[in-house]
Structure 1
Amino acid sequence: MTLSMEPLPYIDEHSRPIDAPADAVWTALLKVLRREMGGSATFARLLGCDPAQGTAAFAGRPGETVPGFRVVEAEPGRRLALRGRHRFSSYALTFVLDGGRLRAQTHAAFPGVLGRLYRAAVIGTGGHRIMTRRLLRQVARAT
């Protein structure tokens, strides 16, 4: 599977104020992504994710991976764009640091009947919102 770079439909954005220097927020973001997503390789394989495995020494550089996501753009201290896909969805999660806030923007497409069912299970139940806000909280705590 190759990751397409075509635009995906907007899903949502969540943000959290973080009173810390951008480099500290960046370091915390990478640490949280390694810890929280690093253990999800089994789940990523079950869904048929591309990528399913993470980069051993994930440092947020383009081409590096955490299970389910590949870094497609990185501006340390400013922006980290992740992209992935699996059987039911193509998706992007972009973290933006600006003005003392960390924002997480999600875009995704859910093709076909199974995609629509997956969207209902993940987005419709609020599970995505809960997980995204949890990631942002963890980054704030880690700074």
Structure 2
Amino acid sequence: MCTDSLPHLDEHATLIAATPYHVWPHLAGVVEATFSRPGMTGYARLMGAADPITSGPRPLTEGSTFPGFHVATAIPSQELTLRGSHRFSTYALIFRLDPDGPARSRLRAETRAVFPGLAGGLYRHLLLRSGGHVIGVRRMLAAVRRRSEKESTD
């Protein structure tokens, strides 16, 4: 299933006082650190994730994996698309970086997913109603913003 064919769930954005070129390595670092935390491999295996472990080239590029995701697209300073699937869902998390004036960027995180069957529907309900997904995405965006802006002022 192609990323564009997955239903749109949500999108979050933040403005960053740094160019997309300077934001890119922080985006890749935050994404990898977030999904490679202790316990993520076990969780990915429990869920039956297609990509349960960290593997592939670093820095992140097409084909890199970490628990729950593989990198489908890595266009430095522009887009990082993560794909994944497990028993209850097929999903994508797409980060897009756009210039937003001199030395500024807009970082957007779009989530797309399908949740087939009754079990998928229950999983969707838990994921979205708990607020955990929104909190996690917003934390990642804030961490990228902090790291990028700290570097640009150092």
Q: 8 Å contact 2:56–2:63 — kept in the other structure?
A: no
Alignment of 1:33-112 (within 5 A): 33-39=31-37, 40-55=40-55, 58-98=58-98, 99=100, 100-112=105-117
What TM-score, normalized to structure 1? 0.92
Cα shift at 1:26: 0.6
Given the two structures, how large is their TM-score scaled by the length of structure 2?
A: 0.86
- Structure number with greater Rg is 2
Q: Amino acid of the residue matched to residue 88 of structure 2?
A: F
After superposition, what is the alpha-carbon deviation per residue over 1:53-81, rounded to whole angstroms, capped at 9, x for unaligned? 11265322111112111111111000011
Counterpart CA distance in 2 for 1:122 and 1:8 is 17
SS of equivalent to 1:49: coil
The 4+ residue runs of structure 1 with deviation greater than 2 A are: 55-58
The alignment of Structure 1 onto Structure 2 pairs a total of residues equal to 140
The equivalent residue for 1:136 is: 141
The Cα of 1:42 is off from its aligned counterpart by 1.4
Q: Identity across aligned pairs (percent)? A: 42
CA distance in 2, matches of 1:64, 1:84: 12
**5+ residue gaps in structure 2?**
149-154
Unaligned runs of 5+ in 1: none
Match of 1:9 among 7, 15, 29: 7
Report the secondary structure of 2:61's partner residue: coil
